[in-house]
Amino acid sequence: MIRPDTFLHPSLSPVTPEPAVTLIVVRDREQGGMEVLLSRRSAQARFVPNAYVFPGGRLETDDAALAQQGQFRPAASLNNATLAAAAARECFEELGLLFARDTEGNMVNRTMLEQAHLDRSGPLLAQLHHHGWHLALDGIYPFAHWITDRDYPRRFDVPFLVAHAPSDQIAVADGAEQFDALWLTPAQALEQHAAGHMLLVYPTIRTLEQLALYRSADALLQACQNGPVMPPSCPRVGFSQGQEIRLMEHEPGFGELHLVCPNGEPAHDIAWQHERPVPLLRHIQRLTAPNAGMMTGPGTNTYLIGEPSTGFIVMDPGPIEPQHLQRIMQHTGGDIRHIVCTHSHPDHSPGAAPLQAMVQGCGHAVPGIYGMSSGPFARQDSQFTPDHELRTGDTVQLQGQRANGDSITHTLHALHTPGHAANHLCFVLQEDGLLFSGDHILGGSTTVVIPPDGGMQDFLDSLDQLSLACQRWDISFILPAHGHVLDCAPEVIAQLKAHRLRRETKVLRAIEQAPQGTVEDWLATAYADTPPALWPVARLSLLAHVQRLASLHPALGLQRIPMPEGLAAPH
């Protein structure tokens, strides 16, 4: 676990979310497509005033009784039925739509509702009893689950449910909590928001974006019958080039916001720039080299590990880029104790020797260069020989004493993780349980594996080793050589391994369908879901899969496929 005194921001306790529920009401349009019901919150509302929202609100004590008297799907839990009842009640109170059946099992229609003269502000359960009606909850399905962002002063834990609107009832806002009931397509609502004519909050926007993927109400409800179609989310707030943004768990940058601002402080800018280092913790900064490209993403991440009292470890100084190396010197004060390279590819290690010379030229003690020598199949631009060879279990350490007298230690534990390259190393910062993954695990893409210097079996075995490291050091965060910080490290590793095995299954099927085919034939089939512009790179990983399949399935005769010689990936 990360040492508490290393966080950049003081610890805060987010407000505990209140339980609530929302109902997305949809209907089909005569001219095709689907509409959704939105209404405007009161200008005096304590939470998101004037925003257009779906009907909903907090759970009340009668909701469980409403659920027990209602009609829900067989084997459904009482909790789910209670949520559906609360959503139906809120929809009736705010917009006048009632999801109910009469004693004959018929849906309550507009005429019945008008003749009943129900009081939308009164207890619904007693009024339903009076007319012999019960809530029709069996057509209400889960769609999403939102928890209000951690930085809000008032927060809610809100399942989003979805239902088809009662066929002939008319939605009328109550004029107290809600105003301006509108039926719009999701696209129309988003366009109105973009034009500044309709205020929408983040969960509503993201929900509408998902709703826009469905052509009809029936298609939507069919998709929701097996559970929510959106992952649960408690977004995090950050900045990009000075503009506030909010990110969901699956989006690049979310994990970095989690690391830097664990309690939701709106304080971190995740936009890429190369002029200055980005503080991640008090003792970790990321300085991204200006070598952005298709294979390097925003550029190579150089990590500056340490603090003034300990000096610094520089991990992956990158290519020989004079301005980048000068920035490393500037932001470490030249007090570089060790230079560590995750592997020998030309966007990672060439800057090590020039940086070492720059430190020496400034009168500081000469830092050693640590890593693993390049393998026999590394190409010419990936040759690398460190001053100090590292193997699994070796450590590189900084020690010092802070102004208050406390001693401080930062220890990098090396793990040999071949696969992307024969000499690839990952590192665990032991005191904090942080994984520096080099190119083995990337932020936002899957690394390429190129035989013979790289190997798919080695790559998968190394993932298993990293999974064990997560257990040993309780690792939650991965700091990759390209891209943002990733959280939920064990899940990321498991998903990456599953992805590679799924791709291998596609490769195997392509081979079985065309056993006498060429590598290009198999590539077109196995990577049909990948843009053709990326096929030259995908071809290299396909060869790595073919190499592994040749050992697993000798009968396929894949030994006849020539492997490239002397290749190594730039990343």
- How far is the first Cα of the chain from the last one, in angstroms, to the nearest whole number? 30
- Class for domain 18-224, per CATH? alpha beta
Give CA 298 to chain center in angstroms.
17
- Class for domain 273-490, per CATH? alpha beta
Cis amide linkage into residue 452, ω under 30° from 0: yes
pLDDT tens, the chain, 571 aa long: 899 999 998 877 889 999 999 999 999 998 889 999 999 999 998 888 999 999 999 999 999 999 999 889 886 788 999 999 999 999 999 999 999 999 999 999 999 999 999 999 999 999 999 999 999 999 999 999 999 999 888 999 999 999 999 989 999 999 999 999 999 999 999 999 999 999 999 999 999 999 999 999 999 999 999 899 999 999 999 999 889 999 999 999 999 999 999 999 899 999 999 999 999 999 999 999 999 998 899 999 999 999 999 999 999 999 999 999 999 999 999 999 999 999 999 999 999 999 999 999 898 899 999 999 999 999 888 999 999 999 999 999 999 998 888 899 999 999 999 999 999 999 999 999 999 999 999 998 899 998 999 999 999 999 999 999 999 999 999 999 999 999 999 999 999 999 999 999 999 999 999 988 889 999 999 999 999 999 999 999 999 999 999 889 888 777 666 655 433 333 3
Domain boundaries, the chain: 18-224, 273-490, 499-560
Q: How far apart are CA 229 and CA 562, in angstroms?
A: 44
DSSP classification of residue 364: S
Q: Nearest-5° angle of CA 238, CA 213, CA 215?
A: 155
- Residues 6 or more apart whose CB falls under 8 angstroms from that of 533 comprise none
What would the 3-class secondary structure string for 292-308 be?
CECCCECCCEEEEEEEC
Q: How far apart are CA 276 and CA 254, in angstroms?
A: 21
Q: Could you please report the per-residue DSSP string of 89-121? A: HHHHHHH----EE-TTSPBP-HHHHHHHT--TT
Other C-beta atoms closer than 10 Å to the C-beta of 188 total 17
Measured in residues, the chain has a length of 571
Q: How far apart are CA 450 and CA 537, in angstroms?
A: 9
Burial of 248 (C-beta count, 10 Å sphere; 0-12/13-18/19+): middle
Other C-beta atoms closer than 10 Å to the C-beta of 230 total 19
Q: At what angle do helices 489-513 and 535-552 cross, to 10 degrees?
A: 80
CB 121 within 8 A of CB 90: no
Q: Could you please report the per-residue DSSP string of 153-211? A: SS-EEEEEEEEEPPTT------SSSEEEEEEE-HHHHHHHHHTTSS---HHHHHHHHHH
Q: How far apart are CA 8 and CA 284, in angstroms?
A: 10
